Homo-oligomer: A and B are copies of this chain.
Amino acid sequence: MLGSAMASLPARLLARARLDVDERRARLLALGLQLFGKREFASISIDDIALEAGISRSLLYHYFRNKRGFYVETIRFAAEQLHQRIQPDLALPPRERLEQGLHAYLDYVADYADAYTTLVRGGGAGDDDEVRTIVERTREAIIADMLATIGPQAETPLVRVALRGWLGMVEFSAIEWLARRREVDRSELVGVLLAACEAVLTATLGERARVD
């Protein structure tokens, strides 16, 4: 028993060290999202980032290849965070699943306003293929989740066009809502997005598509 515990000690130390590395990396990425959400990419230097993080330039380069690499990883981090947050509870019926997902989505938008804005709008260097691919994959993953919920009859080109459109509605209204959160309740916006989703599915699939 003791022998086997001893043998696993290095592995546990390694795992602990790995956790520290992951945690520091995650903290750097969270900081990056704040920075890139507030200022243009071009106006932020590696020195600014290291200063804000309270670490050395060289340690920053240990985690990320350069400023561009750091930026791309912050986008990837935000996208993964968002997608995790809105994972549906599969025990719920479809309509409640969607409603819960929308509340979780808008919670993320409110809690990480800078991160979300950076994610969907880009932070000043957002137009390259690497960043577009991350953002597009996240959108496609959300649509795949929705199609899986609606069922195989939803696999038509028109439904796909409509769901992409609906996701555009979610993103645009979320950005506008961020500026008007004192005037518009989150539940009101969820109600509008649910109504639009139902209308879109009824228009494309008819009664088969009801999500309640």
Q: Are B165 and A172 in contact (CB under 8 A)?
A: yes
Q: Are A165 and B161 in contact (CB under 8 A)?
A: no
Q: Are B180 and A157 in contact (CB under 8 A)?
A: yes
Q: Are A204 and B192 in contact (CB under 8 A)?
A: yes
CA distance A171 to B51 in the complex (A): 40
Residues of B within 8 A of A212 (CB): none
Nearest residue, chain B, Cβ from A157: B183
Write the A154-198 contact mask toward B (1 if CB under 8 angstroms, else 0).
000110111011111111110111001001100011011101101
Nearest residue, chain B, Cβ from A172: B168
- A165-B180 contact, Cβ under 8 Å, with A198-B199, A199-B199: no
CA distance A198 to B166 in the complex (A): 14
- Residue from B123, B161, B192, B203 in contact with A184 in the complex, judged by beta carbons closer than 8 Å: B161
Nearest residue, chain B, Cβ from A199: B199
Nearest residue, chain B, Cβ from A139: B172
Assess whether A124 is interfacial by the CB under 8 Å rule. Answer: yes
Q: Are A180 and B160 in contact (CB under 8 A)?
A: yes
- Residue from B40, B125, B157, B173 in contact with A161 in the complex, judged by beta carbons closer than 8 Å: B173
Q: Smallest Cβ distance from A118 to chain B, in angstroms?
A: 11
Q: Smallest Cβ distance from A185 to chain B, in angstroms?
A: 8
Residues of B within 8 A of A84 (CB): none
- A162-B125 contact, Cβ under 8 Å, with A172-B167, A199-B198: no
Residues of B within 8 A of A123 (CB): 127
Q: 21 A-B Cβ contacts within 8 A?
A: A40-B127, A40-B128, A123-B127, A157-B180, A158-B184, A158-B188, A161-B173, A161-B177, A161-B189, A162-B189, A164-B176, A165-B172, A165-B193, A165-B196, A166-B196, A168-B168, A169-B172, A171-B172, A195-B199, A195-B203, A196-B196
